[in-house]
Amino acid sequence: MPELVFFSGTMDCGKSTLALQIEHNRSARGLAGMIFTRDDRAGEGKLSSRLGLVTDAVEVKDEQDLYAYVVDHLSQGGRADYVIADEAQFLAPVQIDQLARVVDDLSLDVYAFGITTDFRSKLFPGSQRLVELADRVEVLQVEALCWCGARATHNARTIGGEMVVEGAQVVVGDVNQAEAVGYEVLCRRHHRRRMTAATARAAALSPDVLPMTSA
């Protein structure tokens, strides 16, 4: 039976790489897919991974009806055997409903990829709707690591290496950027303490509060 599957995880855990792998495997078997994405790091209309792989995709716009888009494509003689939606956390809840309708009414598998929570540890509306509607939720097993070596569970937004907890929910950046807006994955403990790799290094290099003296 066709399914709506949500592949979730933190940043830097290989979601887009898996999306590209699924596309490769199915296209190699003669299947044709439709790929949606939004705000990819490689630019508009691209699905890319940090490994350097990239393919063309349909850039989703605000208020766009994804179900109608697929139906129109099929009605004009196009082919779609499955649908991939990357950066699904940026989709509106109604657009997630439309992807579910693609599964139910058109009998196509839909593979959605995205992070679950934002830099404030709050659910993205699109991801929340996917958790509510998906036939399966798969947490990716490629573990991203915090700078301390523990399993990373939270996404942090940084400016100049320092973690910030206020601002718009969606600001496009990349992981481990030292300047401007960047993103970093952290374990829960260091996310709570707002301690990024940069601030941890700074703390390690700072002098002791109580200087040690010889007896």
Give catalytic residues, as residue numbers. Answer: 87
Of 62, 49, 64, residue with least CA distance to 13: 49
CA distance 118 to 163: 13
Specify which residues 47 forms β-bridges with: 55
First-last CA distance in the chain: 76
For 160-169, give one letter per residue: b (16+ CB within 10 A) or e.
ebebeeeeee
**What φ, ψ does residue 72 adopt, rounded to 5°?**
-60, -40
Tokens at 89, concatenated: 């956390």
Tokens 């995709």 correspond to 57
